[in-house]
Amino acid sequence: MEVKIWRVPTPVPPSEHSLKYSLVYIVNGERMIGYDNERGKGDHRHYGLREESYRFTSPEQLITDFLADVKAAGGDV
């Protein structure tokens, strides 16, 4: 598991907040769960090969949501 959240001087489009983040849970070299806000894609999350939009509200909620997904995927949090 790796969690990185940092403040940026301007939002990463199309995100509207001033944070850049990358949270990932990897098992045997394969990403199981991932949350990030990539330029052009904005806030989104990954469940294995599936990707969907994510509504970012706060860093605390981001971490809570990520850990809940890791736990649901069988991870030890």
Please indicate, yes or no, if residue 11 is contained in any of the structural domains: yes
Kindly report whether the global pTM for this prediction surpasses the value 0.85: yes
Sheet holding 19-27, edge to edge: 2-7, 19-27, 30-38, 42-47, 50-53
CA distance 1 to 11: 25
Q: Tell me how many domains the chain contains.
A: 1
Q: Which domain holds residue 58?
A: 2-72
pLDDT tens for each residue of 5-51: 999 999 999 999 999 999 999 999 999 999 999 999 999 999 988 99
- In angstroms, the first-to-last Cα distance of the chain is 9
Task: Give yes or no for a contact between 34 and 46, defined as CB atoms under 8 angstroms apart.
Answer: yes
Please indicate, yes or no, if residue 77 is contained in any of the structural domains: no
